[in-house]
Amino acid sequence: MIPLLLGISILTFGIMELAPGDFLNTIRANDSIPPELVESMAKRFGLDRPWYERYGRWLENVVFKADFGESFSYRQPVFSVIVPRLGNTLVLALAAAIIAWGLAIPLGIVSAVRQYSWWDKGASFIAFFGLSIPEVFFALLLLLFAAKTGWFPIGGMRSLDYNDLSPVGKVLDVLHHLALPAIVLGTIPMASRMRQMRANLLDVLRLEYVNTARAKGLPERVVIWKHAVRNALNPLITLFGFTLAALLSGSFVVEVVMGWPGLGSLTLDALRRQDLYLVMGSVLMASTLLVLGNLVADVLLAVVDPRIRYD
């Protein structure tokens, strides 16, 4: 994890440095602002020093003080700006994961058990639709649907009267705003995992030990759920980290298109403003989550498959 995150931080800092200008460009273009004030701001933000010196100081503060620097535009510590937006992104990713896995597993099982039936064909249509439609286009379609019907809010994660609602009302209000972004974000991984679950279960159902279980007179429900489904799930566990990566990267697009106030929209805004340390903190935080997702996938695989623990 350490070399990977270090490489990501160097690459991100280098790309930001290659971009023309800096955060103070807009201020410099304003003739009413004295040059002395611009110089003092450059000194305060460290923009008057060479890039390698600024990167070295930033990395030292991150490693030894857990200090990601100060946001130029918000005039606050980067960590305090990121944490609320990171929480919003995790809420969106969690909701999308619940939709993806909560639909993919049962649909995949039904498709495999009732192969070539109308259930299988219907689930396959849903899967092909989810894999084929671009995420941005799907988001725009749902925004158009929300605008035409008025059934769902457009943008944001809270209503204007949120503070006046009861605790249950606040939860329902957030869920109301969350529904469409979570559906958009969860559709593609749901379709992919459903097809994989169907293929895995079909392979397992043809194995000898399943035929042996049937020959012993075990009910078909016991054969499928106790013997087949669990083994068919093992390959999907290894894909959990990739699913988390897809949800986090996809959430950046969904947040921008659908107005969800998460880490993705914050990062894009910081990029536009060339808020260097806010971009660095956002990218490093997102990268850490992706690496941890792969670690969680390995641990879950060891929990599910005893052979991994024995090895």
CB 108 within 8 A of CB 196: yes
Run means of pLDDT, 10 residues per run, the chain, 311 residues: 89 86 71 74 77 87 85 86 88 89 88 85 87 88 89 85 84 89 89 87 81 76 77 74 71 85 86 87 85 75 66 57
Residue 310, pLDDT score: 56
Residue 7, pLDDT score: 92
Residue 160, pLDDT score: 81
CA atoms of 191 and 179, how far apart (whole Å):
18
Residue 181, pLDDT score: 92
Residue 306, pLDDT score: 66
Q: Where are the alpha helices (DSSP H) in the chain?
A: 2-18, 25-28, 35-45, 51-65, 78-113, 118-132, 135-149, 167-205, 208-215, 220-222, 229-237, 240-258, 263-273, 276-304, 306-310
pTM score, two decimals?
A: 0.81
Domains located in the chain, CATH noted: 2-65 (no CATH), 78-310 (1.10.3720.10)
pLDDT tens for 86-95 read: 888 888 988 9
Residue 308, pLDDT score: 63
**Element spanning 311, H or E:** none
